[in-house]
Structures are given as C-alpha cells and as structure tokens.
Amino acid sequence: MKMSTKLLLLLACIFISLPAFSKQGKSLLWRITGKDMQKPSYLFGTIHLICPDDYFWTDTMQATLKRADVVCFEMDLDAPEIFLEVAKGMINNEEKKLKDYFSDDEYAALQKYLSDSVGVDIAVFQMMKPVAIQTLLAERAIGCTMPVSYEANIMVAAKKENKEIIGLETPREQLDLFDNLPADSVARDLIDIIRSKDDSKDDYNRLVTAYKKQDIAALHRLIVESGKKDLDLGGFLDVRNEKWIPRMVDKMDQNAVFFAVGAGHLWGKNGVIALLRKSGYKVEPIK
C-alpha cells in the first residue's frame, strides 16, 4: 500500500494482536465511562472520505450523537480560520519549486497527468509542497467523483442541534506531521502513481471493506502492513494518541463528548481505546 492511501485515511487513518480485544474489535462506536465523569462520552471511528454507496450511519450512531453535549474532531472543523491555516501550511517555504523535485521527463509526465486525468494545471502547485498533489491524487483512489465525509455530516447534524464543536489538536500540529515526510520520497510516490505502479485503489477498497464490517482490528492491521520505513506511523498514530488522552480527559470531565477521529487511531496497544483503559476508564463497544 502506498503512502497516498495511508494519508487519505489518517488525514488525514502497528497491528498488535490483543486477546482481550478479540471479541470486541468489531465496532466503530464506543462508550466511555468511569472516574470523575458525570455522563458517558463516546468514541467514533471515521473514515475521512468514502463513496456515497459505502457510507452508512445507523440509528444507534445518531442517537448517541444526540446524547452528547459537545462534538470533538481531530481539529476544530468549525473554526473559520482552519482552512486558511491548512492552505498556508501547504506552501513550500524552501527555495525549491515543485519542478525541482523531478527530472524534466518526470515533471512533464506529472504535468500531463494532472491536466488529462484531474483537469488541473500544474502551475497552481508550483509554490506548494509535493504532498499537496499527493493529497489530491489520493482522493482519486476512492473511486467515485463525489465522495462524502463523515466529519462533514456529523458536523452538520451537530450544528442543527446547536452542539459546540471542538478539536483535539491544532492545524499546525497536523501540518507538522506532513512536514516530517521527506519531500523527495513524496515526489517518488507521485511518479509511481502516475506510472500506474501504485495500487492505492485496491488498498483503499480493502480499508473500506474492513470499515463497513466495523472491524477496526483488521483496519488497523491494514494500515500497519502498509507501513514504509520513510513514513513514521508512530508519529501519525501512537504519538498523537498519547497526546490526545489528557485532552480527552479534560473535555470529558466537563461534558458528554462525542469524539469522532480516524478509525485507525482506535485499535492496538497504543490505540485510544487501550490508552483510555490504561488511564482507568471503562471503554465498551456499542452496537
């Protein structure tokens, strides 16, 4: 599995078999109780973009969202400045321009691919980091022209009921993850994609299959098995999970929170479920 598929799931989604989870690993929705909490909070695993035919949202998920006072995403998606911050973060502040990461033949091939297959002029990316194009091409692995977003739909439902929307981390914290990706490696992946050496569509379909089965253990395993030595899965998953726990605790002590984060964060020894349990909370699947 190429890095582009993984970025799609994490951007924005180390499998360790845990016997204690073996009968509980097939749910996207979990109830959090215990310690000083006055009301339960909830943890839901999202897939950031998915085709409409694969999208599902159950009555139980809707009822659980309704019971929460606050909705918390990885970032505060309701903040008006967030998209501007992300856009600024994609600008390459180094002296290199986009074309400097490729040979003349590679750049010409990328230019033609973007024009013919995506309908985009490469000139708009000239001052941007290669990962900006990779994120764009990753969306093509989804296999439909109008994918939908769990986060967007949850936010619409939350705002209809005037629920506060908050985030676990800042845009700068997420952008730092992508800044740590070697730009030259990202450029090589882009060439693999346009030369049909990339199997992102098959990989993404496997992720969606696991997601629709609510099998977060299998989904986590797929992410881990796709790992590349130049992609820091620990940085994308483990480090962020550890950082999120005290922030989640602080929010849960004040309100009933519906946490909606990438499903790849839920499972494993260093997953959010295990870390919450280690912190003394009871975390149970909801069907």
Q: What is the pLDDT along the chain (287 residues), one digit of tens a residue?
A: 444 444 444 433 422 223 333 345 689 999 999 987 889 999 999 998 899 999 999 999 999 999 999 999 999 998 888 888 888 888 888 788 899 999 999 999 999 989 988 888 999 888 888 888 888 877 776 878 889 999 999 999 999 999 999 999 998 888 888 777 788 888 888 888 788 655 667 778 889 999 999 999 999 888 877 754 445 566 778 899 999 999 999 999 889 999 999 999 999 999 999 999 999 999 999 98
The DSSP bridge partners found for residue 72 are: 166, 259
Domain membership flag for residue 260: yes
Q: Which residues contact 114 (CB under 8 A, 6 or more apart)?
A: 120, 121, 122, 125, 133
Give the pLDDT confidence of 198-235 residue by residue, as tens digits.
566 777 888 999 999 999 999 988 887 775 444 556 67
| pLDDT digit string, tens, across residues 254-266 | 899 999 999 999 9
Q: Name which of 57, 22, 54 is nearest 258 in CA terms.
A: 57
Q: How many CA atoms lie within 13 A of 241 on its CB side?
A: 26
Q: Would 7 be classed as within a structural domain? A: yes
pTM for this predicted structure: 0.85
The verdict on residue 135 lying in a domain is no
Q: What is the pLDDT of residue 3?
A: 41
pLDDT tens figures, 92-125: 887 888 999 999 999 999 999 899 888 889 998 8
From residue 34, give the alpha-carbon distance in Å to each of 61, 69, 100, 106, 279: 21, 17, 54, 56, 10
Instruction: Give the pLDDT score at 25.
Output: 60
State the helix-helix crossing angle for 171-179 and 82-89, rounded to 10 degrees: 20
Contacts for 63-67 with beta carbons within 8 Å, 24 or more apart?
A: 64/29, 64/31, 64/258, 64/286, 65/154, 65/157, 65/158, 65/258, 66/161, 67/40, 67/42, 67/256
Instruction: Return the number of other C-beta atoms located less than 10 Å from residue 36's C-beta.
Output: 8
Q: Which amino acid is at 188?
A: R
Q: Is residue 139 included in any domain, yes or no?
A: no
- Structural domain includes residue 18: yes
Closest CA to 194 of 273, 269, 122: 122
What's the confidence (pLDDT) of residue 194? 82
Q: Structure tokens of 72?
A: 């918390």
Taking the CB of residue 46, how many other CB atoms lie within 10 A of it?
24
Pairing of strands 282-285, 29-33: antiparallel
From CA 57, how far away is CA 64, in angstroms rounded?
Answer: 11
How many domains is the chain partitioned into structurally? 1
Q: How far is 25 from 215, CA to CA, in rounded Å? A: 6
User: Cβ atoms within 10 A of the Cβ of 154, count?
Assistant: 23
> Can you give the pLDDT at residue 204?
83
Q: Is residue 19, in this structure, part of any structural domain at all?
A: yes
| Inside any domain, residue 270 | yes
Helices (H), the chain: 3-10, 59-67, 82-89, 104-113, 130-140, 150-160, 171-179, 183-194, 200-212, 216-225, 233, 239-252, 272-278
Residue 278: inside a domain: yes
pLDDT at 135: 80
**Parent domain of 270:** 3-89+144-181+200-285
Task: Provide the pLDDT for residue 21.
Answer: 35
